[in-house]
A = this chain, B = another copy of it.
């Protein structure tokens, strides 16, 4: 086992083994397609409802599988750890959830994800399924990075899946949902920080080295490099490092904001609340009204310590879709 202490059996079977647990824990609410490594709603898509499919590499739980359920996703495709799902998986999810009204793909902007979802959309198109895609690229940290051309898709994906999922439940059509998704993406920004690396099970050693007195600002959710290394700092100073680049990138004073303060996987909730005690006043001072606040682990990076901040300038429609009932393992209210 060495330095990698994880609750796993075989490092090469982590996704397969975890899906068995998902199936047993959420019986009656979710079902698992083990062949294609998909998490689906227990019940088939309501005729006429657009199917919402997301997915990506595993290791970011509860994203995406924890968001499968009424009011949010219809299916999540689970790639290997930090590895894009293959087109076959996405294709299987797409055809499984199509109920005649087409399927929307929600894709984080990583080169492999974008390509594989595109290939799956083409294959599904050949079988007569209408597919559109929304790509999230909310991370203000870096322009291009290890796995991405352009900005990376991170925490905003959670908010977008909730809002678009609620709109699909209302019966909006594929064009409207794609436009809504793009509007959410346009209006949201994120920034993250890591205090430690993460360790990919099949690698067995930390993805990067970070000394005890350093932090990595603008970290990617796979441990890919951020903006810069800085000396370890107080929560107060780290809050400023997250808030400032977000507010510098877009005006958030004109709309009510939905704010997500997200843990990277190994950071306790106590610290996340403490961080929000610093982030909240900074937003307020800058004239940003946090209308809805979510604090917790929603898009993680295996066992990385750290957090990310996402701010969405919501319009009234987005706010009411955010408040709409949702019934998934990881986000549940009004249902």
Contacts and interface: CB of A to CB of B under 8 A. Distances in A.
B302 A2 contact: no
Contact of A5 (B66, B305, B329): B305
Interface stretch (A55-63, A103-111, A138-146, A157-165): A55-63
A42 interface: no
B8 A271 contact: yes
Nearest to A2: B212
Contact of A271 (B6, B25, B334): B6
B25 A303 contact: no
A21 B300 contact: no
Nearest to A268: B265
Contacts of A23: 277
A225 interface: no
Nearest to A333: B332
Contacts of A307: 7
How many copies, total?
2
Contacts of A276: 21, 24-25
Contacts of A248: none
B302 A21 contact: no
B18 A273 contact: yes
Given A280-B24, A297-B297, A7 B272 contact: yes
B7 A238 contact: yes
A5 B212 contact: yes
A327 B333 CA distance: 8
Interface in A1-51: 1-3, 5-10, 14, 17-27
Given A268-B300, A333-B335, A234 B274 contact: no
Contacts of A333: 327, 332-333, 335
B234 A9 contact: yes
A249 B118 CA distance: 54
Interface string A244-280: 0000000000000000010001111111111111101
6 contacts: A17-B235, A19-B273, A61-B270, A62-B269, A265-B266, A268-B303
Given A5-B232, A9-B234, A24-B277, 9 more contacts: A1-B213, A6-B271, A7-B307, A9-B235, A21-B280, A22-B277, A25-B276, A25-B293, A61-B269
